[in-house]
Amino acid sequence: MGAFFSSYSIPGDVHEVVDQKAKAWLSRKGFQEIEESAVLDYCKEGERALFLFWNDRWTIVLYSHFDEEERFLFELSADGRPVLHLWAHDSDLWGYELHVNRRPITAFNSNPKYFGSEEQSGIPNDIELLIEKCSLQGVDVSGILQLQKKRGLFKEEACGAFAKAIGAAPAASHYDYESEDTLASPGFSAVHRRFRKHGFDPMRNFNLHAVRGEPKQPEAPSPSLLPSLPLGYRVLIEIMKIAAIPIGWVFGLILAWKMKRSGFPGAADVMDNLQGERDFALEGEWLVNRKRRCRIRPAEGAAPSRGSGILPFIIGGNEVFSKTMSAKEAEHTLAFPHLRHAEKETDFRIGSLPAKFICSKIPARQEKYFYVFFIQSPLAVYHFSLESKAMLESADIDVYQKTIDSFEILE
């Protein structure tokens, strides 16, 4: 899947006005602001959120919900200020519309025939009008025209270059690509706002121990068509199977390098450390994450690491990844086939907290083993997962269990 960008940029520093507009609009929809330090990450089903960037040239908004952006734009453009909607679709095309008094006055689409017959918007692509309304004195018309004509596989590159050319670099993104760690955009101040629907509880009615898997059934061998095929076809199929893995890796590395080179948001994470978090700290024998309100004490044989997750540690050379989940996310994860049809499933408690251990195996050309713990608290489900190419020794499983048994919620 390619990149999807969507942002709204208003000329000048009007972040206080935009902030108040967003809060008032979401309040009318039944949402109230919550603390940024919430244990759970943003929950799409019951929350709304935005990133707000600003300097003396631009105020830029990245909003969380694509399907509500048209109404959000309507609110932002109500007072006569120009609002520039910049977008990219699936890395295949990009464009923008400039709205004044709730109507578009100039627009650009890099491929109006993308969805079939050519779109006839009737809105002119008037670069000089864009420059005039957005006070972009010094911006080169011919340079923007070149970007509009630019060819390439990843259209977000042209979109990003356009945003930089007009001094609004953070606009070449979308809410889903950002995090608190990426808010430090050079030359811009920034803030993250989260709003929760009145009465929404991401942990309501969830009971970890009530979620039960199904006994794993012996796998029947699948019928194969290969023996009935001519030898030449069978050899070709085997060659394609073997070649698919290195080809996939090469393509993935090229894609990640291209994203990093083009300044794609979060590209450094793709190349370096996915889903990493640095809110944890080692305090004596305890690994502590105050943002997520939890701590754990690695048992003898386990050690804290600088890996991914909220409380990262290592057992027997294997990284344990950890995160918080809402009830819905936990139910979705527990429904994965390799967890629903597990080798072993055990319910227990850590103090008063319900917990679950699942051991599962995925048969493949190279087998994978998963050792997963879930811990339910009133605020979130804490998820710990270890993936290994070989079955863990019973001593390592004991170390893992002892470490999890030390888990505590911080007040």
Q: Coil, strand or helix: which one is 358?
A: strand
Per the domain annotation, does 351 fall within a domain?
yes
> 339 φ, ψ to 5°?
-95, -30
Q: Are residues 295 and 187 in the same domain?
A: no
Q: Mind listing the pLDDT tens digit of every residue in the chain (411 residues)?
A: 688 999 999 999 999 999 999 999 999 999 999 986 678 888 888 999 999 999 999 999 999 999 998 999 999 988 889 999 999 999 999 999 999 998 999 999 999 888 876 666 678 999 999 999 999 888 888 989 989 988 877 899 999 999 999 999 999 999 988 876 666 678 999 999 999 999 999 998 899 999 887 665 555 555 555 555 566 665 676 677 666 656 655 655 555 555 444 444 444 333 333 334 567 899 999 999 998 999 999 999 999 998 879 999 999 899 999 999 999 999 999 998 888 888 899 999 999 999 999 999 887 667 889 999 999 999 899 999 999 988 999 999 999 999 999 999 998
Q: Are residues 22 and 167 in the same domain?
A: yes
Which domain does 382 fall in, by range? 275-409
DSSP string, 322-357: EEEE-HHHHHHHHTSHHHHT-SEEEEEEETTEEEEE
DSSP string, 219-254: PPPPP-SGGGS-HHHHHHHHHHHHHHHHHHHHHHHH
Q: Are residues 147 and 25 in the same domain?
A: yes
Q: Coil, strand or helix: which one is 128?
A: helix
Q: Are residues 186 and 303 in the same domain?
A: no
- Number of domains composing the chain: 2
Torsion region of 30: left, alpha or beta (phi above 0 gives left; psi -120 to 50 gives alpha): left
Q: Coil, strand or helix: which one is 50?
A: strand
pTM for the full model?
0.76
Q: Are residues 158 and 297 in the same domain?
A: no
Query: Which of 155, 182, 197 is the last residue in one of the domains?
Result: 197
- Which 8-state DSSP code applies to residue 394? H
Burial of residue 306 (number of CB atoms within 10 Å: 0-12, 13-18, 19+):
exposed
* Locus of tokens 């804290």: 304
Per the domain annotation, does 231 fall within a domain?
no
Closest of 209, 236, 392, 233 to residue 316, by C-alpha: 392
CA distance 2 to 64: 18
User: What are the tokens at 101?
Assistant: 């008094």
